[in-house]
């Protein structure tokens, strides 16, 4: 009974806070006068301090790309215990709608708000959990508009396709259209914004992490080394607190996935050196179930040393793809989202990209043999793409103008 009352109270507070914020946001669109102001002090929101190395890499990349602007940044994090050394002041953002009211003064006293980067507006499939998270990330943009502060969305990932829920879609396009500028990390994200009615300046670039230079630490030591980044996709979001109940169908899919992965490992373990990399805390759930040895938690420097030492990576994570490609390591992708498909398409590696729902073990084994047989050609192809994309990312972010009329 106590748990039910706590959840009911949380629901009421969230609903009241969100409705109040929406009402004030739409009123502000009619009342706030526009002016022009130099932007120096930034309140920055994203998915940082979340135990996901990809989000941390995104911030480091964006911070470097925007270095010439000399912004004074205050960065939101989800959990101080999972926060890294970002090199800027940080604050806890909270995970409920009503938590953002604690940070109104941070936005009010700033010159502007940044949102991003990463897949803040992407989801695995339409669900209450997915729509709730999108609305959570839009809240800082609403508060920025209420106080007449310019908002910029940077390095963002967006699902291609029309949002099914009409009310969510309306709020989505109204709030994002108030942004002064949106920089997407792939073409399907720009298409998704336009398809859902967002009307503002949209620049299509690539994921900012692709602008980084990663060292090569590969060793010629006999056996080829294959790395794996695996996570319990079919249990999402069951491994988060207050998540939706998991269905028997999802449990069956997860069991089938584990069986196929185990079959793949059994076919590889005698010929290759295998390593299981921890990118997010949930990865260790799969490794424990299959009795694979791995790091107990995600640590960025250790992860980068591991991934750059590989000869090939089999990955279910987008920034696993990216870090491997940056180190000129061929990738076999078990795709769980559109962004993974788009990245493999950009690198012309679609032949090695599979839907996690229906991949075949025999085909992946054939791909691994093909990749090692044609390794020099594939590595050159990856290197050529790296040079091209880095140049385009640096150009796109170097030309951004933040001193706009607000």
Residues 145 and 248 in one domain: no
Q: Calculate the CA dihedral of residues 288, 290, 293, 297 and round it to 10 degrees.
A: -30
> Is residue 274 one of the residues assigned to a domain?
yes
Q: State the chain's mean pLDDT as an integer.
A: 89
pLDDT of residue 9: 65
Instruction: Note the pLDDT tens digit of each residue in 172-205.
Output: 999 999 999 999 999 999 999 999 999 999 999 9
Alpha helices (H) along 66-177: 104-108, 128-146, 166-176
One domain, residues 242 and 320: yes
Residue 214 has pLDDT above 80, yes or no: yes
Residue 291 lies in a domain: yes
Number of C-beta neighbours around residue 114 at 10 A:
27
**How many domains would you assign to the chain?**
2
Q: Examine the domain organization and report whether 234 and 369 are in the same domain.
A: yes
**Do 230 and 379 fall within a single domain?**
yes
Please give the average per-residue pLDDT across 148-172, as a whole number.
94
Domain end position, chosen among 138, 171, 205: 205
> Mean pLDDT across the stretch 384-403?
94
pTM: 0.88
Q: Are residues 176 and 274 in the same domain?
A: no
The pLDDT, as a whole number, for residue 78 is: 85
Q: Is residue 16 a part of any domain in this protein? A: no
Residue 195 counted as domain residue: yes
Q: Are residues 163 and 248 in the same domain?
A: no
Q: Does 14 fall in a domain?
A: no
Tokens of 200: 């503002």
In a domain, 382, yes or no: yes
Q: Are residues 201 and 244 in the same domain?
A: no
Question: Do residues 160 and 229 share a domain?
Answer: no
3-state SS, 186-238, equals CHHHHHHHHHCCCCCCEEECCCHHHHCCCCCCCCCCCCCEEEEECCCHHHCCC
Question: Do 172 and 282 belong to one domain?
Answer: no
Q: Are residues 146 and 183 in the same domain?
A: yes
**Per-residue pLDDT for 84 more than 80?**
no
Q: How confident is the model at residue 80 (pLDDT cuts 50, 70, 90)?
A: confident
Rounded to whole angstroms, what are the CA distances from 112 to 77, 95, 102, 387?
Answer: 18, 21, 17, 32
Burial annotation 266-289 (CB, 10 A radius, 16+ → b, else e): eebeeebebbbbbbbbbbbbbbee
254, 177: one domain? no
Write the CATH number for 49: 3.40.50.11930
Query: Per residue in 271-309, pLDDT tens?
Result: 999 999 999 889 999 999 999 988 888 888 899 999 999
Q: Please give the backbone phi and psi of residue 77, each rounded to the nearest 5 degrees, phi first.
A: -135, 155
Q: Which domain holds residue 237?
A: 225-386
Domain assignment present for 15: no
Render the burial of 181-193: b for 16+ CB within 10 Å, e for the rest. Answer: bbbbbbebbbbbb
CATH number at residue 327: 3.40.50.2000
Q: Considering the domain boundaries, does residue 398 fall inside one?
A: no
Question: What is the secondary structure of 249-297 as a DSSP string?
Answer: HHHHHHHHHHHHHHHHHHHHTTTSEEEE--SBTTHHHHHHHTT--B-SS
Residue of higher predicted confidence among 5 and 304: 304
Same domain, 196 and 100: yes
């Amino acid at each position: 009974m106590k748990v039910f009352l706590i959840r009911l109270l949380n629901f009421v507070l969230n609903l009241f806070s969100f409705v109040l914020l929406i009402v004030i946001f739409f009123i502000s669109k009619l009342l706030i006068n526009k002016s022009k102001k130099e932007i120096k002090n930034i309140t920055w929101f994203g998915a940082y301090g979340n135990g996901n190395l990809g989000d941390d890499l995104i911030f480091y990349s964006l911070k470097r790309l925007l270095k010439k602007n000399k912004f004074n940044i205050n960065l939101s994090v989800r959990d101080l215990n999972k926060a890294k050394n970002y090199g800027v002041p940080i604050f806890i953002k909270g995970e409920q709608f009503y938590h953002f009211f604690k940070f109104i003064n941070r936005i009010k006293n700033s010159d502007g708000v940044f949102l991003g980067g990463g897949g803040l507006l992407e989801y695995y499939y339409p669900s209450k959990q997915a729509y709730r998270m999108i609305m959570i990330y839009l809240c800082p943009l609403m508060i920025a508009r209420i106080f007449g502060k310019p908002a910029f969305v940077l390095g963002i990932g967006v699902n291609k396709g029309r949002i099914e829920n009409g009310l969510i879609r309306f709020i989505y396009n109204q709030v994002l259209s108030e942004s002064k500028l949106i920089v997407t990390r792939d073409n399907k994200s720009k298409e998704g914004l336009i398809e859902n009615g967002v009307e503002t300046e949209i620049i299509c670039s690539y994921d900012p992490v692709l602008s980084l230079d990663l060292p090569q630490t590969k060793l010629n030591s006999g056996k080829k080394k294959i790395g794996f980044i695996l996570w319990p996709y079919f249990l999402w979001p069951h491994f988060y607190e207050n998540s939706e109940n998991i269905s028997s169908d999802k449990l069956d899919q997860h069991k089938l996935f584990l069986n196929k992965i185990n079959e793949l490992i059994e076919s590889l373990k005698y010929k290759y050196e295998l390593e299981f990399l921890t990118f997010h805390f949930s990865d260790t759930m799969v490794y424990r179930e299959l009795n694979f040895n791995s790091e107990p938690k995600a640590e960025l420097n250790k992860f980068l040393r591991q991934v750059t030492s590989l000869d090939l990576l089999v990955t279910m994570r987008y920034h696993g793809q990216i870090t491997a490609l940056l180190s000129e390591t061929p990738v076999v992708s078990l795709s769980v989202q559109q962004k993974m498909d788009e990245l493999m398409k950009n690198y012309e590696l679609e032949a090695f990209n599979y839907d996690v729902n229906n991949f075949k073990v025999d085909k992946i084994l054939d791909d691994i043999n093909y990749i090692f047989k044609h390794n020099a050609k594939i590595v050159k192809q990856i290197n050529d793409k790296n040079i091209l994309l880095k140049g385009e990312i640096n150009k796109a972010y170097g030309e951004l103008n933040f001193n706009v009329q607000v």
